[in-house]
Amino acid sequence: MSRMLKFAAAVGAITLFPAALAPAAADNLKVVASFSIIADFARNVGGDRIELTTLVGPNGDVHVYEPRPADAAAITGADVVLVNGLQFEGFLQRLVEASGATAPVVELAKGSDVLRSKAGDHDHAIGDGDDHDDHAHDDEEEHAHDEDHAQDEGDGHHHRGEFDPHAWHSVHNAEVYVKNIADAFCAVDAAGCDTYKANAEVYGEQLEALEETIKSAVADIPQPKRTIITSHDAFRYFAHEFGLKFLAPEGVSTESEASAGDVAALIRQVREDEASAIFVENITNPRLIEQIASETGLKIGGKLYSDALSEGDGPAATYIEMMRHNLNTIKVAILGS
């Protein structure tokens, strides 16, 4: 069972380079976001003061992404690069090295509450994702360990898979991401700092309202009906924060396919736990979920957005729309309305 951890505040969220790299005040801040969810956060904070490039776009799978020459060029010309961290962007280090970039790379998950990966989760996962009783905010030893982790990650010595990287599925963590973005923008564009902080405050209020909406809606779902099946283990933060239980044939990464044994074990657990709903994800092949649905008799309840937003004309074009869509899709599949 995972433990809830909090990054030590002293670690900070930003790696800064010399002040001479700061852009001229008259120019838009050139921002590179590693994937679409972070890009939406950046857009809300930066507004019309930033020129934004997104490496992994809508419906893109960061876990298996292969960088293009244009990505290296974007990073070379960037004033700041925004990434999730927690080893989510496996392609990032070699891309930054290849580009020769000198812009600060800001790991937005730092300072947020993070979940340790379950045992054996480096390759696959079936476990329940309900970590409500596994909280470690007040454990000084765990805090010390996490500070070491954050420092090691910056040095490139982090063991991949030690922490679940999908921290944005906690709305509380999303607020931390937004604050880190505002701080990063202020660090390289002091003239726009008041604007960035004001934008972050307004958006933060929207996130607080979103959190209350989700809590209220989940409260309407009876406890015995809160077990859900998805393609890969991306929703543990959502489960932890809002009281649902997610099962998945694949682990926190989509890089490794679930084995026949994993699928068989999941099907047994689905039957034992009397799962209420099963969903495909926008970034994964639906074939495996279709197989599980067929063998368990569950009807696929729709599509959830996990690691990427939808296209602009889709149902999850922003982070807030994504969270609302996922919530509504889950609720309708379980309750029928």
pLDDT for 251:
64
Q: Are 181 and 106 in contact (CB under 8 A)?
A: yes
Q: Are 281 and 303 in contact (CB under 8 A)?
A: yes
Parts of the chain with a pLDDT under 70: 1-26, 119-161, 251-257, 337
pTM (two decimals): 0.82
**Fold of the CATH domain 4-208:** Rossmann fold (3.40.50)
pLDDT for 6:
40
* 218-335 matches 4-208 in CATH topology: yes
pLDDT for 262:
77
What length does the chain have? Answer: 337
pLDDT for 253:
64
Residue spans of the domains in the chain: they are 4-208, 218-335
Token digits of residue 30: 């050139």
Task: Specify the CATH number of the domain 218-335.
Answer: 3.40.50.1980
pLDDT for 252:
65
pLDDT for 256:
60
For the stretch 279-299, pLDDT in tens is 999 988 888 899 999 999 999
Amino acid identity of residue 93, one-letter, is Q
- The DSSP secondary-structure symbol of 322 reads H
